[in-house]
Amino acid sequence: MNNRELKTIIKLFESSKLSHMVLEKENVKIELHKETASRQQSVDNPSVNIERPRPDDKKEETDKPAFDPVCAPLVGTYYEAPAPDQPPFVREGQTVKEGDTLCIIEAMKVMNEISAPRDGRIVKIHAKNGDMVMYDQTIMEIE
95 and 51 share a domain? Answer: no
Does residue 17 sit in the same domain as residue 75? Answer: no
Is the distance from CB of 141 to CB of 81 less than 8 angstroms?
no
pLDDT digits (tens, 9 = 90+) for 23-46: 777 677 777 777 755 444 444 555
Full domain range(s) for residue 107: 68-142
pTM recorded for the entire structure: 0.55
CATH number of the structural domain spanning residue 120: 2.40.50.100
Q: Do 43 and 79 sit in the same domain of this protein?
A: no
Q: How many domains does the chain have?
A: 2
Same domain? For 117 and 80 the reply is: yes
Q: Which residues have CB under 8 Å from 100's CB, separation 6+?
A: 89, 90, 115, 116
Same domain as 84, residue 55: no
Report, as an integer, the average pLDDT of 129-142: 92
Mark whether 110 and 132 lie in a shared domain.
yes
Convert the pLDDT of each residue in 76-114 to its tens digit.
Answer: 999 999 999 999 999 999 999 999 999 999 998 899 999
User: Is 43 strand, coil or helix?
Assistant: coil
